[in-house]
Amino acid sequence: MSNVVEMTIVKAINAGLRKALAESDKVLIFGQDVAELGGVFRVTEGLHAEFGQKRVFNSPIAEAGIVGTAIGLAMRGYRPVAEIQFDGFVFPAFNEITTQLAKLQNRSEGFLTMPVVVRIPYGGGIGAIEHHSESPEAYFAHTPGLRVISPSNPNDAYWMIQQAIKSEDPVLFFEPKRRYWQKGPVDLDNPPAGMHDAHILRNGTDVTVVAYGPMVATALQAAEIAAAEGRSLEVIDIRSISPIDYATIIESVKKTGHLIVAHEANVSVSVSSEIAARVAELAFYHLEAPVIRVGGFDVPYPAAKLEEKFLPDADRILEAVDRSLGY
């Protein structure tokens, strides 16, 4: 019988980290304020007290140094979990991530492995100041050598953080910060499929809606509204941004003939752009309308008082549904 408990995403990640720390003394957690404070969002709360200063510790405010330290620790056989406090602060570490972390395994012909997890709270919707509401996932999905994943619910958060830590490849773990307090069931005994497998969260027949991270809840809300209007949306949470489980998407598109891809990030040269191109290549004769992308507008993330106009909502997804079915 499964051991299922109700948790928020914050508590689920915390529980997953605790389990990983308990299972291996090679797992280390560090970043700005992650120790006694438990991080800005309290994701690591209690771990320092339980596992001690040598396993969970604070770092200087130096993101390049945080990732560089993680790389060095991985070379010495550790499995570091580094936190970047906010999405917009990952850019000072961009060089370390894309030119070192992503390439060392290939550069050493497999002699070195990089079992590094970089945790990044991302996305908007929390009324934050500048540099605290970015969606930089496409930069890293573009970089060979990195795995990029994002849970949308507590069960995935609990299991995917553990799967990421066990990976021999570097994993960027994007945490949807505005969904941190979303509650849901967590099965503590039975992990879901692999961390790169997409999940169909709602079956439908008219339009396929693909989303990930914070936009999954919005897509499900749109599907509820559409159902009341007599339209059936199939909602897919891809869970993994790199690599992407295209097989699941293609099978759904073969059934519905229509595809909408939704995320918070800007639409131009985005994850949705790649999905649209790949589906057009692999399922062209099954599409009854062009793939439609729904995302943030192509402007810098606005001030907090305007973010609700910037972020895609259920209405924008439903408007895309109308356009797709209207072709």
Domains of the chain: 4-187 (3.40.50.970), 199-325 (3.40.50.920)
The pLDDT of residue 178: 96
Give me the tens of pLDDT residue by residue for the chain, a chain 327 residues long. Answer: 579 999 999 999 999 999 999 999 999 999 999 999 999 999 999 999 999 999 999 999 999 999 999 999 999 999 999 999 999 999 999 999 999 999 999 999 989 999 999 999 999 999 999 999 999 999 999 999 999 999 999 999 999 999 999 999 999 999 999 999 999 999 999 998 899 999 999 999 999 999 999 999 999 999 999 999 999 999 999 999 999 999 999 999 999 999 999 999 999 999 999 999 999 999 999 999 999 999 999 999 999 999 999 999 999 999 999 999 998
The pLDDT of residue 193: 82
The pLDDT of residue 104: 96
The pLDDT of residue 181: 97
**Rounded CA gap, 64 and 93, in Å?**
4
**Rounded CA gap, 101 and 97, in Å?**
5
Question: What single string gives the DSSP state of each residue in 229-289?
Answer: TT--EEEEE--EEES--HHHHHHHHHHHS-EEEEEEEESTTSHHHHHHHHHHHHSGGG-SS
The pLDDT of residue 196: 97
The pLDDT of residue 1: 56
CB 207 within 8 A of CB 260: yes
Q: Which long-range contacts (CB under 8 A, 24 or more apart) does 125-132 make?
A: 125/177, 125/178, 125/214, 125/307, 125/311, 126/177, 126/178, 127/304, 127/307, 128/86, 128/304, 129/304, 130/88, 130/301, 130/303, 131/86, 131/88, 131/89, 132/86, 132/87, 132/88
The pLDDT of residue 327: 80
Active centre residues (catalytic) = 132
